[in-house]
Chains A and B, each alone.
Chain A
Amino acid sequence: MTTTTTLDALGRLESEAVHIFREVAGEFDRPVILFSGGKDSTLLLHLAVKAFWPAPVPFPLLHVDTGHNFDEVIAFRDKVVAQHGLRLEVAKVQDYIDDGRLTERPDGTRNPLQTVPLLDAITGHKFDAVFGGGRRDEERARAKERIFSLRNSFGQWEPRRQRPELWNLYNGRHRPGEHVRVFPLSNWTELDVWHYIARENIELPDIYYAHRREVYLRDGMWLAEGPWGGPRENETMVEKTVRYRTVGDGSCTGAVESDAADIATVIAEVAASRLTERGATRADDRLSEAAMEDRKREGYF
């Protein structure tokens, strides 16, 4: 038995996230956790497991699948879901493209296309609280985001109409058709996430660690071959030692050259990096000065 009376910074972040999960479980009818198999959603699930131990996590998972996946991540996703005995719903962008409800973009990226399947899944399953792994340190529009973020029946974020968030009293009241996005990792930074993954020994898809991979250069980013239309004729494949800082839609998620093959070297690398994780590896955030804000207004996370 241990005696702990003061929490360190990671302990406080963990306690806050656990508190948020329990608040949602106590006040909402149909919450769901957005889960892609990436590091933030894996961390989210780890915290949810802790919040309800020894009972199972009382929420299903939802993956909005762009169809541009890394095989390793999907395999990891399915393994983790089975391990915890959870239910996984998958909303597929490909289905929407196939039947004409969505049109492929000329640049081939499908990240912005996730919004419609996401909102349809929320409406179809009548989810009233949707957990996301978003962090305020990711991007300056996210820095304005509340932990409990009310979305209207179109899933839209209205930054000027956000509820004040006072003390640790979260107001999750909403009307039929509205839902609340919940961000338990709001106060975590990328380094906090990695330190916690190390401390808790959390398994991640192995593409987060350095490995040899065939990649090609497009717009300054190292992309892997895949169904997203690469490489093109003028793009040549080269083998490099790389790792991923984020895993998302393969068309716009780049690898970084890295020798960091274990958690300690990854932490050292992240601490020394002069690039944000999105700036380094996410093409979609480079689209405009307000790309994230605009997508959030449409219903994206």
Chain B
Amino acid sequence: MSDLLRLATAGSVDDGKSTLVGRLLYDTKSVLADTLDAVHRASADRGLSTPDLSLLVDGLRSEREQGITIDVAYRYFATPKRSFVLADTPGHVQYTRNTVTGASTAQLGVLLVDARKGVIEQTRRHAAVLALLGVPRLVLAVNKIDLVDHDEATFSRIAKEFTAHATALGYPDDAVVTIPVSALAGDNVVERSERTPWYDGPTLLEHLETVPVDVDPHDAPFRFPVQYVIRPRTADYPDYRGYAGQVAAGTVRVGDEIAVLPDGLRSTVTGIDTADGPLDQAASGQSVTLLLAHDLDISRGDLIAGAAVPPRVTDEFDATVCWLSEKALTPGARVLVKHGTRTVQAIVTHLHTRFDEQKLGSTDAPDSLTLNEIGQVALRTAEPIPVDDYTKSRHMGSFLVIDAADGSTLAAGLVGAPLPELDGVESCTDGGDAAEPDSHALVSPGP
């Protein structure tokens, strides 16, 4: 079992997300006495009779003033079974980009709904974003269950509706769990509640401690973006030339035949070095230095890949982009694309579709994409780059869209990832999508 789980939260404003995160930290005793004292003091200053656990996590002055979470924050807690890195993302509509940020590295998404309101549009939108970003597993925490008198029927209705939605997004049944909780009172977060005797599933923490962590398969094709060339030129290492990087996918072994892309040069791995000594193989996630049989011209930005199954090398491809900037995207825009360790100039040649968040369907050929909108676009790059589809590899299928003028990050890009199309919801298909069956393909979550 993996000893680390990365999770991201998502939920609407006032669903009690900060309180839930605060409760997780508090009940797992991850909050130390001085931090807690500060929360007690601040709560008393605000005239509250019980400590406001959301103050544990809302770290910015303006967040505390407004009582909302503005920016994604990272929390760390651990139990004897597992360590957790939690990306605490804001639910406010204008901060959807932070949900994208949190989801990009998460292995599990925790969505919150208010039991009195049930599944709302924002819930469906967040679930769609988590599915699109390839978050393999979901938990729905039906919060404020105490405010509906711990009613089983209310919970069941919400659970059923959400599970149907998640299934439509491509999640298998065993990847979705729903739990009735009260973050404020602590029911079923860490401690099992006696007020929901009808619920026989795990508490939120029990689930987080035991849920399988989907890791990148080691048998995926090998991918290694070259970060830096290590050439000591010292007396001890006069001729050393190593290619440093982090294995993005698959496994590499000494003796493997590799291809260097985009040029297509070939060689063989003669050594895998680390500061702690040589290895005979390295797998995804490991930072190592590769030594090759031939003295090739390889530099930062090149990709070393398994020779048997190289990625496609292309200067034109379709991608889904989550637009994160106030500056709108219009067709013909010149941008920079950062993919792996390579940054290239690119033109967004066409906007194919826009994901209509209101109707959870796609609209054809929009004029522009604006802040927080998600759309499928065609890109042309100034030089060919080696890409895999996002649904095959989160690392090799992801890229940043950067503004060449001011350097800001404009968008999160997913190579080839089609937009979610939901069955069973009112959908604005405009007729066009029906002609192309592939555009109805659901995003398959997971690696």
Contacts and interface: CB of A to CB of B under 8 A. Distances in A.
Given A22-B287, A167-B398, A274 B57 contact: no
**Quick one: which of A22, A55, A166 has the most chain B CB within 10 A?**
A166
Nearest to A164: B101
Interface string B5-47: 0000000000000000000000000001111001000100000
A8 B341 CA distance: 25
A175 B76 contact: no
A166 B228 contact: no
Given A15-B246, A22-B287, A166 B398 contact: yes
Interface stretch (B153-161, B277-285, B351-359): B277-285
**Quick one: which of A12, A56, A167 has the most chain B CB within 10 A?**
A167
Contacts of A174: 407
A160 interface: yes
A2 B277 contact: yes
Contacts of B56: 140
A141 B236 CA distance: 45
B240 A54 contact: yes
A16 B273 CA distance: 16
A75 interface: no
A281 to B, nearest CB: 11
A265 interface: no
A173 interface: yes
Nearest to A160: B70
B76 A137 contact: yes
Contacts of B171: none
B244 interface: yes
Interface string B90-115: 00000001101100110000000000
Contact of A144 (B73, B275, B289): B73
A189 B33 contact: no
A169 interface: yes
Contacts of A276: 32, 34-35
Contacts of B34: 275-276, 279-280
Nearest to B37: A279
A50 interface: yes
Contact of A279 (B35, B61, B70, B324): B35
A154 B174 CA distance: 51
A274 B32 contact: yes
Contact of B33 (A49, A51, A274): A274
Nearest to A14: B287
B314 interface: no
A153 interface: no
B231 to A, nearest CB: 7
B150 interface: no
Interface string A47-65: 0011111111000000000
B244 A293 contact: no
B237 interface: yes
B313 interface: no
A76 to B, nearest CB: 22
B134 to A, nearest CB: 10
Interface in B372-431: 394-395, 398-400, 402, 406-409, 412
A41 interface: no
B237 A54 contact: yes
Q: Interface size bucket, B side?
A: 35 or more
Given A166-B398, A171-B402, A293 B59 contact: yes
A234 interface: no
A166 B341 contact: no
A166 B237 CA distance: 37
A293 B71 CA distance: 14
Contact of A22 (B83, B244, B338): B244
A2 B232 CA distance: 24
Interface in A154-175: 159-160, 162-169, 171, 173-175
Given A5-B283, A159-B71, A144 B60 contact: yes
B408 A163 contact: yes
Contact of A186 (B74, B231, B287): B74
A9 interface: yes
Nearest to A17: B287
A293 B228 contact: no
Given A8-B3, A26-B341, A15 B409 contact: no
Contact of B279 (A3, A50, A142, A169): A3
Contact of A1 (B74, B98, B280): B280
B235 to A, nearest CB: 11
B285 A15 contact: yes
B285 A54 contact: no
B287 A19 contact: yes
Contacts of B105: 167-168
A54 B232 contact: yes
Contact of B300 (A9, A26, A54): A26
Contact of A168 (B42, B246, B399): B246
B232 A12 contact: no
A169 B281 contact: no
Contacts of B75: 143
Given A22-B227, A167-B394, A175 B406 contact: yes
A166 B287 contact: no
Given A53-B289, A166-B101, 12 more contacts: A3-B280, A6-B283, A9-B83, A50-B275, A52-B230, A142-B59, A162-B71, A164-B72, A165-B101, A171-B407, A175-B406, A275-B34
Interface of B: 3-4, 32-35, 38, 42, 56-62, 64, 70-76, 78, 83, 85, 97-98, 100-101, 104-105, 215, 218, 227-228, 230-234, 236-237, 240, 244-246, 251, 273-283, 285-287, 289, 300, 324, 338, 341, 394-395, 398-400, 402, 406-409, 412
18 contacts: A3-B280, A3-B281, A5-B282, A8-B3, A9-B4, A26-B300, A52-B228, A55-B233, A164-B324, A164-B409, A165-B101, A171-B407, A171-B409, A187-B85, A274-B32, A275-B34, A276-B34, A293-B61
Leading 6 A-B pairs by shortest Cβ distance: A279-B34, A173-B407, A140-B59, A53-B275, A55-B232, A50-B275
